[in-house]
């Protein structure tokens, strides 16, 4: 009977336990390959400063030895359970890929073909597909007519239906054609290549186009008869106070489909950035002073939507340097790292009246946590009811990232929440699975992909007496 030994593998900041009955270092490396996806041929195993030789017997390793592994994992490496043959994803047939994904219990999904720098659009279609009521409305919509905006809604519904039933990459030819007609700026090309576009500008166009046709068919209590307003509209109270005479206060209301996080030198995390962005100095005419002066503009949320769209204001216009010949205004990018969380709390951004409602939801949530120890205050445990109460907390369900130095160049990717801590990365038609830890690393600070748009879903609780 072969004796099984236990070893500790230290690799890439991780500590792993490996049980093996192998007799040689070469065979040990195969077990390590199965554990880490580091190819046996690329492994260096170090014990107490000595590199192990492939021909060495396992007798040189006492049980419980700590083995340091040097080597990088192959991302798409698959090793069959009964063979030592190594196969890579790109070498597999479509049928093999489907079989392997099914064996792993993964949902089979497909992406969208890039039709000439359309990654900005593809990523938005994917994250908005995570908004269940919107996707279902587009599925079922019976929009008629030949207007461009109505055709866009019809084609969007067709694309979501194709994605739901796909057996291969979906090619959204008609939808992209209509998009480029809706906004001719998206149809610009240079030397035969379509130009990259700003994903935030495209999102504004998409939501306003949907708003023209999608009705709110829910039977419960409604905020609006319009579905887009119901799902995304944020209401704000605005107070503008004269800094020279604080008795002069101007008030107004506003609506928006997004909150903006301006990125300043002291902006380190999302919620703090949002709070600071709701306060700014503006130049206004003062009736009391009969001239322009500085007013402090403060905004307070009076209506929280079920889905919260947040934009990191990473792009800004940089004025041309007059001392440099040929210099011109340009749109540049702030690369600063700004942390964001799986769950955010925007209680402090709301009016006192809204906060009173949120307190009720938070108290109910506390009661539910006490009654059910397995309950978690996130989407995986959120209980549904007819009369739902918001808590002021939101959970991340979608991210659009940008890599590059300008909104007119670079590349966009969509990242969509699936369940628990599992996410799907949509790099156009290249699909992969990632963890929430990978998503939260998309905070910026370098030239890798960084969050530009974050989509959050409200965490609510069913009303109950407390």
Give the model confidence (pLDDT) of 21-50 as tens digits: 888 888 889 888 888 888 888 888 888 778
Of 70, 65, 46, nearest in space to 7 by CA: 65
Together in a domain, 417 and 304: yes
Phi, psi torsion values for 128, nearest 5 degrees:
-70, -25
Q: Residue 187, exposed/middle/buried by CB under 10 A (0-12, 13-18, 19+)?
A: middle
**CA gap 258, 301 in Å, rounded:** 12
Together in a domain, 367 and 456: yes
Q: What is the pLDDT of residues 389-419, one digit of tens each?
A: 999 999 999 999 999 887 778 999 999 999 9
Average pLDDT over all residues of the chain:
89
Average pLDDT, stretch 299-303? Answer: 98
Total number of domains in the chain: 3
**CA gap 358, 144 in Å, rounded:** 41
Together in a domain, 287 and 427: yes
Sign of CA dihedral 221, 227, 232, 233: negative
| Domain boundary, last residue among 51, 73, 91 | 91
Angle, alpha carbons 177-183-189 (nearest 5°): 70
* Domain CATH code at residue 287: 3.90.70.10
What's the pLDDT score for residue 94? 59
Angle, alpha carbons 117-119-124 (nearest 5°): 140
Together in a domain, 422 and 292: yes
| Domain boundary, last residue among 233, 254, 274 | 233
**CA gap 179, 417 in Å, rounded:** 26
Name the residue with higher pLDDT: 267 or 81: 267
Phi, psi torsion values for 147, nearest 5 degrees:
-60, 150
Is residue 137 a contact partner of residue 213, using CB atoms and an 8 Å limit? no
Please give the residue range of the domain that contains residue 183. Answer: 94-233
Work out the percent of the chain whose per-residue pLDDT is above 70: 90
Confidence of residue 80 (pLDDT cuts 50, 70, 90): very low
Together in a domain, 193 and 59: no
Q: What is the pLDDT of residues 255-281, one digit of tens each?
A: 999 999 999 999 999 999 999 999 999
Instruction: Output the six-digit token pair for 462.
Output: 């069913």
Together in a domain, 368 and 268: yes
3-state secondary structure of 82: coil
Residue 280: C-alpha distances to residues 101, 126, 274, 435 (Å) = 50, 34, 12, 37
Together in a domain, 278 and 294: yes
| Domain boundary, last residue among 233, 265, 293 | 233
Together in a domain, 288 and 430: yes
| 85 pLDDT higher than 70 | no
Q: What is the pLDDT of residues 412-456, one digit of tens each?
A: 999 999 998 999 999 999 999 999 999 999 999 888 899 999 999
Phi, psi torsion values for 416, nearest 5 degrees:
-125, 130
CA 17 to chain centre: 33
Least reliable range by pLDDT among 187-201, 300-314, 350-364: 187-201
Together in a domain, 189 and 221: yes
What's the pLDDT score for residue 431? 92
Together in a domain, 332 and 386: yes
Together in a domain, 307 and 434: yes
Together in a domain, 280 and 412: yes
pTM, 2 dp: 0.78
Name 174's Cβ contacts closer than 8 Å, sequence gap at least 6.
155, 158
* Domain CATH code at residue 24: 3.10.20.90
């Amino acid at each position: 009977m072969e004796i099984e030994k236990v070893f500790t593998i230290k690799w890439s900041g991780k500590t792993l336990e490996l049980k093996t009955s192998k007799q040689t270092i070469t065979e040990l490396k195969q077990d390590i390959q199965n554990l880490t996806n580091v190819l046996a041929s690329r492994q260096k195993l170090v014990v107490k400063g000595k590199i192990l030789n492939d021909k060495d017997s396992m007798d040189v390793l006492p049980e419980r030895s700590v083995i340091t592994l040097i080597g990088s994992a192959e991302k798409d490496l698959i090793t069959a359970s009964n063979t030592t043959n190594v196969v890579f994803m790109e070498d597999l047939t479509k049928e093999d890929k489907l079989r392997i994904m099914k064996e792993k219990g993964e949902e089979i999904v497909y992406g969208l073909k890039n039709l000439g720098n359309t990654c900005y659009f593809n990523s938005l279609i994917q994250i908005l597909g995570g908004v269940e009521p919107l996707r279902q409305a587009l599925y079922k919509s019976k929009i008629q007519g030949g207007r461009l905006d109505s055709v866009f809604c019809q084609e969007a519904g067709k694309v979501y239906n194709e994605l739901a039933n796909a057996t291969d990459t979906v090619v959204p030819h008609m939808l992209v054609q209509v998009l480029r007609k809706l906004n001719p700026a998206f149809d610009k090309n240079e030397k035969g290549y379509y130009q990259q576009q700003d994903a935030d500008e495209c999102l504004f166009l998409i939501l306003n186009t949907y708003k023209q046709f999608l009705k709110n068919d829910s039977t419960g209590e409604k905020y609006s008869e319009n579905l887009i307003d119901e799902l995304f509209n944020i209401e704000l109270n605005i107070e503008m106070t004269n800094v020279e005479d604080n008795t002069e206060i101007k008030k107004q209301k506003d609506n928006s489909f997004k909150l903006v996080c301006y990125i300043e030198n002291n902006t380190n995390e999302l919620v703090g950035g949002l709070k600071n962005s709701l306060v700014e100095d503006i130049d206004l005419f003062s009736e009391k002073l009969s001239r322009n002066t500085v007013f402090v503009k403060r905004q307070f949320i009076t209506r929280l939507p079920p889905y919260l769209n947040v934009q990191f204001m990473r792009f800004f216009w940089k004025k041309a340097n007059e001392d440099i010949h040929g210099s011109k205004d340009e749109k540049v990018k702030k690369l600063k790292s700004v942390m964001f969380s799986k769950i955010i709390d925007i209680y402090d951004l709301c009016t006192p009246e809204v906060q009173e409602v949120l307190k009720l939801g938070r108290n109910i949530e506390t009661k539910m946590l006490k009654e059910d120890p397995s309950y978690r205050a996130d989407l995986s445990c959120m209980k549904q009811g007819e009369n739902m109460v918001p808590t002021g907390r939101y959970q991340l369900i979608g991210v659009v990232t940008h890599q590059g130095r300008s909104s007119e160049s670079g590349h966009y990717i969509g990242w969509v929440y699936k369940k628990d801590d599992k996410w799907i990365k949509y790099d156009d038609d290249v699909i992969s699975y990632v963890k929430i830890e990978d998503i939260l690393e998309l905070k910026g600070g370098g030239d890798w992909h960084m969050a530009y748009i974050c989509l959050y879903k409200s965490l609510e609780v069913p009303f109950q007496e407390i």
